Amino acid sequence: MTAQTIDGKNFAARIRGRVADHVARLRDERGVTPGLAVVLVGDDPASQVYVRSKGKMTKECGMESFEYRLPETTGEAELLALIAKLNADGAVHGILVQLPLPAQIDAELVINSIDPSKDVDGFHVSNVGRLATGQRSMVPCTPLGCLLMLREHCGSLSGLNAVVLGRSNIVGKPMAQLLLSESCTVTIAHSRTRDLQDVTRRADILVAAVGRPEMVTGDYLKAGATVIDVGINRVERDGKNRLVGDCHFDSCASVAGAITPVPGGVGPMTIACLLANTVTAYCRAHDLPEPEGLTA
Ligand SMILES: Nc1nc2c(c(=O)[nH]1)N[C@@H](CN(C=O)c1ccc(C(=O)N[C@@H](CCC(=O)O)C(=O)O)cc1)CN2
Ligand SMILES: [Mg+2]
């Protein structure tokens, strides 16, 4: 079998198109424009690329982009003061603090200081609790992107066996909650899971988010499984820097029914879903109908 490649780049472009349509309607019918504030502390090179890309795509979708770049030495109090200002700003409907933060800053404290209704990352403890209890919440962008791809590819997910490999707060745990709310039978596996291949081989859907380059090979898969590779690992191969996922693409593609590539799979969906969440946050704040097909 050779798996179908799920094209995240193309899918993300379509999501951004739907966001742009919704933003245009808000402008034409109501004369309003949603705004997204992105805060970057320090000079992590990858974070700089992601933040630049977020700003560019926000504007391309017709929304207002507010960018705050603070030095590596920024103190917690200064960052909290900025968040308080953005929470109170009526032109800002989404707030995102790019992670990771420098070591002197307590990331949990900062995230929990964001107004939950503007928390477009869905990392605030109130949104985490709401997701876990099936209440309307802001949903973290990467798992939301995975869910939208799975819905498009598989149709109904009800009754499928889903294995989430990885238990991070940003991907693994919310992904498991989302799959559970689609009525999947969900297993969370991780680095301590025994007989891991026996577990993953039962999966109709495997979401790999462990951060270990090419750990998942074809031997881990049931024939025909749908594989979502969340890993973004920078490795050196033959003297060149390359980006690889948590799945070994070629061996997985020879067993799976469908698989997302790295790059060009889940990654682009993360930013597309951030833009979708910003429009959703605007609509909820103003009691307007939410954009269709862009939420969990
Ligand atoms: N506050 C947040 N911080 C971080 C998040 C997040 O969702 N919220 N996620 C990641 C970084 N991230 C967005 O912030 C992100 C990562 C990767 C991509 C992406 O498009 N990747 C490309 C490859 C890009 C490359 O060559 O480096 C791909 O996979 O095709 C977008 C966004 C951590 N921090
Ligand atoms: Mg820290």
Note if the bond before 100 is cis, omega within 30 degrees.
yes
From the CA of 50, how far away is ligand 1's center (Å)?
6
Amino acid code (one letter) for 212:
R
CB atoms within 10 A of CB 158: 10
Neighbours of 121 (CB within 10 A): 22
Is residue 210 domain-resident? yes
Residues 94 and 156 reside in one and the same domain? no
Residue 9, both tokens = 């780049």
232 lines ligand 1 (CB under 6 A): yes
- Which pLDDT does position 276 carry in this prediction? 98
Residue 99 CA to ligand 1 centre (angstroms): 10
**Ligand 1 contact, 121 CB (< 6 A):** yes
Give me ligand 2 centre to Cα 101, in Å.
6
Q: What ipTM does this complex have?
A: 0.96
Both 149 and 88 in one domain: the answer is no
User: Is 24 within 8 Å of 280 (Cβ atoms)?
Assistant: no
pLDDT band at 193 (very low <50, low <70, confident <90, very high): very high
Q: Are residues 183 and 217 in the same domain?
A: yes
Reference 115, options 96, 135, 134; nearest CA is 96
Q: pTM surpassing 0.95?
A: yes
| H-helix or E-strand spanning residue 186 | strand 185-189
* Model pLDDT, residue 103: 97
The alpha helices in 168-264, defined as continuous H runs, are: 172-181, 196-200, 249-253
Q: Are 190 and 168 in contact (CB under 8 A)?
A: no
Does residue 151 sit in the same domain as residue 215?
yes
Shared domain for 150 and 258, answered yes or no, is yes
Q: Cα-atom radius of gyration of the chain, to the nearest Å?
A: 19
Closest CA to 229 of 205, 265, 198, 204: 265
| Ligand 1 and 137: CB distance under 6 A | no
Tell me, yes or no, whether 193 and 79 share the same domain: no
The phi and psi torsions of 43 (rounded to 5 degrees) equal -130, 35
Strand positions, DSSP E, 19-93: 35-41, 64-70
From 146, 270, 273, the mutation candidate for ligand 1 (largest count of ligand atoms within 8 A of CB) is: 270
Query: pLDDT class for 162, splitting at 50, 70, 90?
Result: very high
Given a contact cutoff of 8 angstroms between Cβ atoms, the answer to whether 225 and 242 are in contact is no
Q: Inform me whether the pLDDT recorded for 30 exceeds 90.
A: yes
Residues recorded for the chain: 296
Binding residues for NADP(+): 166-168, 232
Residue 153 binned pLDDT confidence (cut-offs 50, 70, 90): very high
Task: Based on the fold, state whether residues 95 and 54 are members of the same structural domain.
Answer: yes
Q: How many domains does the chain have?
A: 2
Residue 1 pLDDT > 90, yes or no?
Answer: no
Q: How far is the CA of 102 from the centre of ligand 2 (A)?
A: 6
> Encoding tokens for residue 232?
């973004």
CATH number at residue 260: 3.40.50.720
Q: Residue 37 CA: which ligand is closest?
A: 1
- Report the atom number in ligand 1 closest to the C-alpha of 141: 7
Distance 109 CA to ligand 2 centre (A): 10
Same domain, 152 and 218: yes
Shared-domain flag, residues 186 and 241: yes
In this structure, is residue 106 part of a structural domain? yes
Q: For residue range 221-239, list pLDDT tens digits in order.
A: 999 999 999 999 999 999 9
Report the alpha-carbon distance of residue 90 to residue 71 in Å, rounded: 26
Q: Is the CB of 262 under 6 A from ligand 1?
A: yes
Q: Which ligand is nearest to the CA of 108?
A: 2
67 φ/ψ sector (left φ>0, alpha ψ -120 to 50, else beta): beta
Ligand positioned closest to the Cα atom of 11: 1
49 and 109 share one domain: yes
Residues 81 and 149 placed together within one structural domain of the fold: no
Q: Of 116, 149, 171, at which residue does a domain stop?
A: 116
CATH number, domain with residue 87: 3.40.50.10860
Residue 257 covered by a domain: yes
| Residues belonging to the active site | 54, 98, 121
In a domain, 69, yes or no: yes
Domain that holds residue 171: 141-267
The reply to whether ligand 1 has any atom less than 6 angstroms from the CB of 177 is no
Same domain, 239 and 153: yes
Cβ 196 under 6 angstroms from ligand 1: no
**Is residue 7 a part of any domain in this protein?**
no
Q: Which residues contact 278 (CB under 8 A, 6 or more apart)?
A: 19, 34, 35, 36, 58, 63, 93, 94, 120
The dihedral sign for the CA sequence 279, 282, 285, 291: negative
Query: Would residue 207 count as lying in a domain?
Result: yes
66 and 90 Cβ atoms separated by less than 8 Å: no
